[in-house]
Amino acid sequence: MSNMIKNAINREIPKYIEGIGELKAFGGAFAYNPEGKKAATKIPKTFTGKNKIIENIKTSLELCGIKNGMTISFHHHFRNGDYLVNMVVEEIDKMGIRDITLAASSLQSIHAPLIDYIKKGVITGIQTSGIRGKLGEVVSREKILDKPIIIRSHGGRPRAIESGETKIDIAFIAAPAADAYGNVNGVEGPTACGAMGYAMTDAEYADKVVVVTDYLVPYPACPISITQTLVDYVVVVDEIGNPKGIVSDATRITKNPMELLIAQKASEAIITSGLIREGFSFQAGSGGASLGVAHFLRQKMRQEGITGSFAAGGITGYLVDMLEEGLFKSLLDVQCFDLKAIESIKNNPNHMEMSASFYANPHNKGCVANQLDIMVLSATEIDLDFNVNVITGSNGIVMGASGGHSDTAAGSKLSIVVAPLLRGRLPIVVDEATNVITPGETIDAVITERGIAVNPKRKDLLDLFKDAKLGVMSIYDLKEIAEKLVGKPRKIETTDEIVGLIEYRDGTIIDTIRRAK
Amino acid sequence: MSNMIKNAINREIPKYIEGIGELKAFGGAFAYNPEGKKAATKIPKTFTGKNKIIENIKTSLELCGIKNGMTISFHHHFRNGDYLVNMVVEEIDKMGIRDITLAASSLQSIHAPLIDYIKKGVITGIQTSGIRGKLGEVVSREKILDKPIIIRSHGGRPRAIESGETKIDIAFIAAPAADAYGNVNGVEGPTACGAMGYAMTDAEYADKVVVVTDYLVPYPACPISITQTLVDYVVVVDEIGNPKGIVSDATRITKNPMELLIAQKASEAIITSGLIREGFSFQAGSGGASLGVAHFLRQKMRQEGITGSFAAGGITGYLVDMLEEGLFKSLLDVQCFDLKAIESIKNNPNHMEMSASFYANPHNKGCVANQLDIMVLSATEIDLDFNVNVITGSNGIVMGASGGHSDTAAGSKLSIVVAPLLRGRLPIVVDEATNVITPGETIDAVITERGIAVNPKRKDLLDLFKDAKLGVMSIYDLKEIAEKLVGKPRKIETTDEIVGLIEYRDGTIIDTIRRAK
């Protein structure tokens, strides 16, 4: 395999892949220096004030000049309630177009119909933060795509678009509300989703931009999240999404005693770090224990009268409650997870929308992730170097998403992983993670119900946690405890075939996903 | 003069100017088709969450790598209260740097100190919407700059920046409020100016961006008009402007009987046009009679229960009153003219900020000016082809600004000029205007106290106005009436020397400013 080299975390990476090109190997979280200029779009000209409404998606594809080999983009604010990806791909297939690359900010179970379009050759490339459901399973087990899928973080995606690495020919914007001249917001209409952060860079850099809405509002839309200056066409359809799939109920604090215990331990560790002070900032990823941490920190903030500056990321009603209680001064929001968050971003000026680039792109003049004090992360696996997997299960199947995991881990002052030591009979701490999304050098500690392991490079933290008797042990100890309980996990069997490339946020390749047997 | 050609309005235009390059002659308001791609900025990289505050303006210039021949940019939301332009140019001079091009969105009387820096060779090029006061007089009468100044409209400026014609090396943002990581808003602090619309494109396209503020707020600023992702450095100074110069009191309705009469006639004409209907949109330029038109239209709207969609442009308290009364659904604001407008944009979500590109750039996918139904404009002169001058006095001296005049005239369904037939002893209607900012093909009618002239290309309007007995006459008649009263104006004497180029919004040259004797 002379085409392969080892990257900075000892993963074997191809130097070149047909249909994708030369690859850069990951060289360390802060090592890569970008060169050159951002991509530039064509200079348009528009003198007409007439509306931009056209008949249907098919017409929009025709007017945008769809042809074989193009890249089309989508955003995932509708999550598992999204109808648009399937609608557009169906039309493309009907037109006989093939060899399309799908650049989605994420894909969900609802997008399983894409499997058939991949098999037909309509879709030949996928770039996404994650894939859930049947589609994830099929692309992991069967080599149905000639090119590997590319997994990007939420900050890495706008970076790739801005740099021109991902050149979007047509961006489709699923718009909860839009006016006839193309101004869009996410806070009105039957499929209100709140923030539109992932769609913004697409609209800025795509050659053609099509807004699809089921809720046409009088000109001008108000507020405006994506402006008319970027939009070519507006298509009105009956339904762009299922509101039930858009909002999630998973924003209540976990009642699982194990998760509560982990959350409590995590909050003790965070408090011990000394970062809970006036003006601190905070983000918690998804997952039961993560939100639990907010719950325990809230008590501390109340007791001591501490006000944080901001909470960031995908925003839940729980964080809205903390904003309204005055515990945070503001929220910076790239996507809303529930109705309370959607109502809040609509009505509360301190709840601010941000683009994915503003949120997490390492190649701008400073993203919000850089300003985070505390980041609470989840993990499906963590290896002995603290490298974290959140994309594949231990069976090698793509079932999660890169999300903002690696971005916030790199940007925050303190990044801690919260996870149960075992999931079913599978240890979280492993010799070698199935895949790596986030390099260990950006992870400071892992908190389990059985103990806390601190990254050796954070000697300062280790001392603090030891002094506070937080149950510190080495990550090797954690692994041993787990293996004593359930035995050593069987190494999964994969083939040599590469079905996915995991890009680090800076565009280098941190890992490959091998076809699962 | 073989270097000269006549453009579409018969003005002599040079084909080439040393230090500027090839010029494109104006070929008609909608004729020019842009080619190529927008400018691209360098890809930066920022992993630090540390603040961006540096010592002073001198340090910012050093860190930005200031050198001879660079272009620096400024915005004019502080109007005649701006301290920043003079402060920065003074520092540049002290550093011994020469040959700087100043790309300002506009220049005021307060910038008269630039005269000395021009004479010293610190400033060798000026691009601006307008110049008022002593500086305007000097650049018109003395050839103190080797290169002509370039006059651009508010839409033409972002077009030039986006296309790369104006490449900004360092953009200075005078920020009423900023946080230490570079987020900016215009609604807080002692020099609150409201909207920041003219600064936005500078921040996006400049190589380096320096935020200068006298009001540092905790991170993150809220709201955010210009994001940290675009900003390199933050400088905190004692005072960036004089609040008294920032806000203007000229937002009350005129008490001048002549202006009121003109405004009333204009509103009658607008009503006759049939455009005052549910959902109509409106903008009035500055000047006594313009705002008076809003006053009379307001009465009509109340009487008939008509609600407009939006009013746009520079926003005054009078338009805020109409918004709050429910007569307009929203305001689209590129700059605030008074305290009431500043308070409104801070607190009323229906009062929306827009960038100058969103407002008026002809080379994006659709600007707000395209959506205007009615535009009320001022004029210093209007010729028999309806070409309008707002930049020079009849003495040939630069004393005004191009502003959004040509942008809104081109974009709106009905553009009317309101002006007294005489100013002092000078007729408004002239054989040949001293200069042309806005081509007659985009002007529909001129309204004076003595009569109304309709552009012959608007036969529909002519018939409506005649039927309504609005006192329609030809523009030749208007000129004759004026000349009977005050005599034929003496043609001003200019030299052949070109001290200014007037760019039409699309980048073609519509006129030159010759040195006044």
Task: From B418, B382, B386, B380, select the one nearest B401 (Cα to Cα).
Answer: B380
The 3-class secondary structure across B148-159, one letter per residue, is CEEECCCCHHHH
pLDDT digits (tens, 9 = 90+) for A84-118: 999 999 999 999 999 999 999 999 999 999 999 99
CA pair distance A496, A516, nearest whole angstrom: 9
> Do residue A293 and residue A153 come from a single domain?
no
Q: Both B141 and B283 in a single domain?
A: no
Q: Which two tokens stand for residue A8?
A: 């900075």
Q: Does A242 touch chain B (CB under 8 A)?
A: no
Contact by Cβ (8 Å): A461, A412: no
Extract the tokens encoding A229: 């200056």
- A135 within some domain: yes
Query: Could you tell me the CATH number of the domain that includes residue A238?
Result: 3.40.1080.10
Per-residue model confidence as pLDDT tens for chain B (517 residues): 469 999 999 999 999 999 999 999 999 999 999 999 999 999 999 888 889 999 999 999 999 999 999 999 999 999 999 999 999 999 999 999 999 999 999 999 999 999 999 999 999 999 999 999 999 999 999 999 999 999 999 999 999 999 999 999 999 999 999 999 999 999 999 999 999 999 999 999 999 999 999 999 999 999 999 999 999 999 999 999 998 998 765 567 788 999 999 999 999 999 999 999 999 999 998 777 888 999 999 999 999 999 999 999 999 999 999 999 999 999 999 999 999 999 999 999 999 999 999 999 999 999 999 999 999 999 999 999 999 999 999 899 999 999 999 999 999 999 999 999 999 899 999 999 999 999 999 999 999 999 999 999 999 999 999 999 999 999 999 999 999 999 998 888 889 999 999 999 999 999 999 999 8
- The answer on B281 and B165 residing in a single domain is no
The minimum CA-CA distance between A43 and chain B, rounded to whole Å, is 5
- pLDDT band, very low/low/confident/very high, at A290 (cuts 50, 70, 90): confident
Residue B179 included in any domain: yes
Q: How far is CA A46 from CA A43, B364, B376, in A?
A: 10, 6, 22
Q: Does residue A269 sit in the same domain as residue A179?
A: no
How large a percentage of chain A has pLDDT more than 70? 99
**Same domain flag for A228 and A262:** no
Q: A205-221 in b/e burial notation, b at 16+ Cβ within 10 A?
A: bbbbbbbbbbbbbebbb
Q: Smallest CA–CA separation between A282 and chain B, in Å?
A: 13
Q: For residue A394, tell me if it sits in a domain.
A: yes
**Domain co-membership, A212 together with A287:** no
| Distance between CA atoms of residues B94 and B107, nearest Å | 22
* A33 within domain boundaries: no
How many structural domains are present in chain B?
2
Q: A interface mutation test: which of B43, B50, B161 has the most A CBs within 10 A? A: B43
Confidence of residue A59 (pLDDT cuts 50, 70, 90): very high
Q: Which amino acid, B123?
A: I
Asked if residue B80 lies in contact with residue B193, where contact means CB atoms within 8 angstroms, the answer is no
Q: What is this model's ipTM? A: 0.96
Q: Which of A226, A246, A266 is the last residue of a domain?
A: A246
| Averaged pLDDT of chain A | 96
Neighbouring CB atoms inside 10 A of B305's CB total: 8
Which tens digit of pLDDT belongs to each residue from A449-477? Answer: 999 999 999 999 999 999 999 999 999 99
Amino acid, single-letter form, for residue A226 = I
Cβ pair A223:B362 closer than 8 A: no
Those of residues 324-343 in B touching chain A at CB distance below 8 A are 329-330, 332
Question: What span, in angstroms and rounded, lies between the C-alpha atoms of B57 and B88?
Answer: 7
Residues A327 and A417 in one domain: yes
On whether both A274 and A345 belong to a single domain, the answer is: yes
Domain end marker among A246, A279, A309: A246
> What is the pLDDT at residue A218?
97
Q: Which of B202, B371, B374 to mutate to test the interface with A (most CBs of A within 10 A)?
A: B371
Confirm whether A508 is domain-assigned.
no
Distance CA A496, CA A1 (A): 10
CA-nearest of B176, B175, B277 to B230 is B175
A206 is in which domain, residue-wise? 55-246
Query: Which of A148-162, A254-268, B354-368 is predicted least confidently?
Result: A254-268
Residues A218 and A299 in one domain: no
Could you tell me if residue A141 is inside a domain? yes
Which residues make Cβ contacts (< 8 Å) with residue A45, sequence separation at least 6? B32, B33, B34, B362, B363
Q: pLDDT for A320-357, tens place per residue?
A: 999 999 999 999 999 999 999 999 999 999 999 999 99
Max intra-chain CA distance, chain A:
72
The residues pairing with B418 across neighbouring beta strands, listed in sequence order, are B447
The answer for A 19-58 residues in CB contact with B (under 8 A) is 30, 32-49, 52
Same domain (yes/no): B429, B350 = yes
Within-domain flag for A115: yes
Name the residue facing B370 among A48, A357, A361 (closest C-beta): A48
Can you give the pLDDT at residue B449?
A: 96
Q: Which tens digit of pLDDT belongs to each residue from A386-432?
A: 999 999 998 999 999 999 999 999 999 999 999 999 998 999 999 99
Task: Establish if A59 belongs to a structural domain.
Answer: yes
Q: Are residues A229 and B49, on separate chains, in Cβ contact within 8 Å? A: no
Contact A220 B30 (CB under 8 A): no
Lowest-confidence range among A206-215, A290-299, B500-509? A290-299
Identify all chain B residues contacting A354, using CB atoms and an 8 Å cutoff: 227
Alpha carbons A366 and B513: distance in angstroms, whole number: 43
Model confidence at A251, pLDDT cuts 50, 70, 90, reads low
Nearest chain A residue to B358, by CA: A229
Distance separating alpha carbons of residues B34 and A42, to the nearest angstrom:
9
For A357, the closest of B229, B362, B411 (CB atoms) is B229
Q: Which two tokens stand for residue B167?
A: 């490449």
Domain boundary among A184, A212, A246: A246
User: CA nearest B244: which of B124, B428, B78, B49?
Assistant: B78
Residues 6 or more apart in contact with residue B46 via CB below 8 angstroms: A362, A363, A364, A365, A366, A367, A370
Asked if residue B239 and residue B277 are part of one domain, the reply reads: no
Closest CA to A275 of A451, A445, A29: A445
Same domain, residue pair B342 and B415: yes
